[in-house]
Chain A
Amino acid sequence: MRLSLAAMALGATLLAGHGAFAAGARWDGADDLPVNPLPCDGGAGTVVSKAYDGGKAVNAPNMAGKPITLVDVPKLIGIGYFNATSQGMQEAAKELGNVKVTTDGPTEAKIDEQIKFIDNYITRGVNGVLFAANDPVAIAPVLKKALSKGIHVVGYDANSTPDAREWFVNQAEFNGIAKSMIDNMAKEMGENKSFAIVTSTFTTPNQARWIAEMWAYAGKCHAKMKWLETVEAQEDNILSFNQASTLINKYGDQLSGLFGMTSVATPASAEAVTRAKLCGKIAVVGLATPNAMKPYVKTDCVKSVVLWNPVNLGYAAVYVTRAVVDGKLKPGDTSVEAGKLGKLMVVNGSEILLGSPFTYTKENIDQFNF
């Protein structure tokens, strides 16, 4: 019994000592990269034109106009988001007629597994690798290896260090997403209110960057909004629901907004708000795919869902790779033709911008099916 008392004492110490580890310290993302918040009024950010900083496939065979084989290695397979990008790739491949794309990857978002997959495909021999990195730095050596073997490398969704790939198809800039999220939240819940965030894990690079940019933008343009807490919920539906419910229970009336940072967390947060019968009292804004959000948008529980179109993202990635192989997209170019998407702009030296983030609302959500 004495030991169990000791256990209680330990627990009590932990509770008492929580000040030392308290949350609420400034979130600056899981990396030390600088933040670059957009201006509040909606004008474009300071765009610095930059020279091409991507890598180059060494002695790539000239396959211009010839059939090519590409492999797509997303962060993980078996989730709706990457099913959608994969669908877009197949559409593009079908339109082009001379591209074959296979999607393959790890079943969990683990960087070492992803490296093994890419490595295997380099050995197997493909003309191009498309990737969405689990870690921007860790994936670099294997991508450089691909480049050195004459394989074209194009990223989408989650970037690597620039010199490890040729081009990156950027769905939307981090600060653009951040602005869109915070502005929508401010509009829905008002300025003097408090909000909390449900994210996947603190180590997921994209989510961490978005949160860091949101912090910077909120501090600059909506200084009165209060940031309560950020919780982790993996990519797990039930866990996200539980975490969101706990936040609602903890803050009660104080909580006026919930951000979902993943396509899993947002619908789960919306469900938690619906179950707590607090629709209209707690605004849910987040990144999510339209199909998962339709029920909540239709009941007016969620007013705005922020996302790019992942089908188009995959589609653009294949078009970009084809253009690189055909020599139609070279370092220094300022735009690229991408089928039905028209001309896409080159930004940041070697990134191709898909467009501004899109906000789905009750009016337009039925037009999308993914």
Chain B
Amino acid sequence: MSATLTAAAPRRLRFAVSQEWLLAIAILLLFVGVGLYNPRFVASRNLQSILLGNAYVAVAAIGMSMVIISGNIDISVGSLIGVLASVSGGLAVAGVPSVLAWLIPVAIGSAVMAAQGALVAYLGLPSIVVTLGMLSILKGGLISVTNGVWISNLPDNYHLAQWSLFGVVPMPVAFMVVLTIAAAWWMRNTALGRSIYAVGGNAEAARLCGIGRERTLMMVFAVHGAFVGIAAVLFATQLSVIQSTVPSNLELTIITASVVGGVSILGGTGTVVGATLAAVLIAAIGSSLIFVNLSPFWLRAVQGILILVTVLADIYRRRRRGLAR
């Protein structure tokens, strides 16, 4: 463990790259294996379903990765997505132009997360507790306000999923790809982005290097909130109705994607590209279980094994590098 913490930054990045390759290979093998078993699995329609239906998980996992890299965690993310999706839908139905119905949730998400970030950064409260409390507040609040009434009759131009970039890439998928690349570039090549690693890796050292821990943490949460907002909009604009309840276990899926993507829960390492790939892998596995006729009762057990195998592979790899060094 401590090997990674004291390792120099470039080495750390190289580790992360290999996790990404591992995931890419796993995705490829999965598609080849299941594709041989049932060619319909790799038909473009199914690939599109997998990507389109889960793009929002990947986008939220980008923000989550930043939070975890900074040495924190956010378990309110699923509830916040539920709340922001309802806000977005409510605005759209109320006649607000679609562009605003997309942007306002992003701003609110950022503000809510920044508030939680302030509690974590300036008052030193543990993020797991703050976000656990927020989870209850958001969930209870959503039900109190909406009573679970579905939002329907959304205006036609509200649905992002029906538009596509250059006529081929559906909008949500485009968002996923562009945001992943942008976030990865930002975290690797800007001082602000790199400071996230510094804060997560060794807060004390970061302080000595002149990086304001508090400000960085708050920024991380605010940026995460914006990603959550975008994820909520992708979530809301997918279908012709919005179910105004909190999607169950969504936070678990998102955290899993980040972790399987190679973001070390110890903080300080990992990239968002891995998180996005992991989100795709998890979605693909969910879909493939149906294709290979595995009894659906075993689905969750397979997911659990997947998480453990990925983590073990990662730890094993790190250890070997550590010894080789």
Contacts and interface: CB of A to CB of B under 8 A. Distances in A.
B143 A202 contact: no
Interface string B25-59: 01001100110011011010110010001100000
A292 B152 CA distance: 8
B248 A234 contact: yes
A250 interface: yes
A236 B239 CA distance: 12
Interface stretch (A19-27, A48-56, A158-166): A19-27
Given A15-B33, A79-B245, A237-B241, A249 B40 contact: yes
Contacts of B240: 271, 295
Interface in A1-41: 1-4, 6-8, 10-12, 14-15, 18, 21-25
A108 interface: yes
Interface of B: 22, 26, 29-30, 33-34, 37-38, 40-41, 43, 45-46, 49, 53-54, 139-140, 143, 146-150, 152, 235, 238-245, 247-248, 286-287, 290-299, 302, 305, 309-310, 312-313, 316-317
Nearest to A15: B292
Contacts, number: 142
A7 B313 contact: yes
Contact of A107 (B29, B38, B143): B143
Nearest to A86: B147
A23 B293 contact: yes
A271 B241 CA distance: 10
A231 B289 CA distance: 10
Contact of A8 (B29, B139, B241): B29
A246 B140 CA distance: 32
Given A10-B305, A78-B245, A238 B290 contact: no
Nearest to A289: B150
B307 to A, nearest CB: 11
Contacts of A21: 294-295, 297-298
B219 to A, nearest CB: 30
- State the main secondary structure of chain B at its contact with A: helix
A54 to B, nearest CB: 31
Contacts of B312: 3, 7
Given A249-B40, A292-B150, A23 B294 contact: yes
Nearest to A14: B302
Given A15-B34, A108-B248, A237-B239, 17 more contacts: A1-B317, A2-B316, A3-B309, A4-B316, A11-B33, A21-B298, A22-B295, A78-B148, A83-B147, A202-B297, A237-B242, A242-B53, A247-B290, A249-B49, A250-B41, A251-B40, A276-B45
Contacts of A249: 40-41, 43, 45-46, 49, 287
Given A107-B140, A108-B248, A229 B290 contact: yes
A214 interface: no
A281 to B, nearest CB: 14
A79 B296 contact: no
Contact of A83 (B54, B149, B152): B149
- State the main secondary structure of chain A at its contact with B: helix
20 contacts: A3-B317, A4-B316, A8-B26, A12-B33, A18-B293, A78-B244, A202-B297, A229-B290, A238-B238, A242-B54, A245-B53, A246-B287, A249-B43, A249-B45, A249-B49, A250-B40, A252-B40, A267-B241, A268-B239, A292-B241
Top-9 shortest CB links A-B: A78-B148, A249-B46, A7-B309, A237-B243, A242-B53, A4-B313, A78-B143, A21-B295, A3-B316
Contacts of A80: 148-150
Contacts of A25: 295
B269 to A, nearest CB: 18
A245 to B, nearest CB: 4
Contacts of B140: 107
Contacts of B313: 3-4, 7
Contacts of B245: 78-79, 235
Interface residues of A, number: 54
A236 B247 contact: yes
Given A77-B148, A231-B290, A241-B53, A246 B317 contact: no
A23 to B, nearest CB: 5
Contacts of A14: 294, 302, 305
Interface in A252-307: 252, 264, 267-268, 271, 276, 291-292, 295
A361 interface: no
A15 B53 CA distance: 24
Contacts of A6: 309
Contacts of B292: 15, 18
Contacts of B244: 78
A10 B305 CA distance: 9
Contacts of A241: 53, 238-239
A113 interface: no
B160 to A, nearest CB: 14
Contacts of B43: 249
Nearest to A236: B247
Interface in A110-156: none
B147 A18 contact: no
Contacts of B30: 11
Contacts of A337: none
Interface string A77-98: 1111001000000000000000
B146 to A, nearest CB: 7
A78 B49 contact: no
Interface in A57-113: 77-80, 83, 107-108
Nearest to A19: B293
A295 B240 CA distance: 9
B39 to A, nearest CB: 10
Contact of A23 (B242, B248, B295): B295
B294 A245 contact: no
Nearest to B142: A78
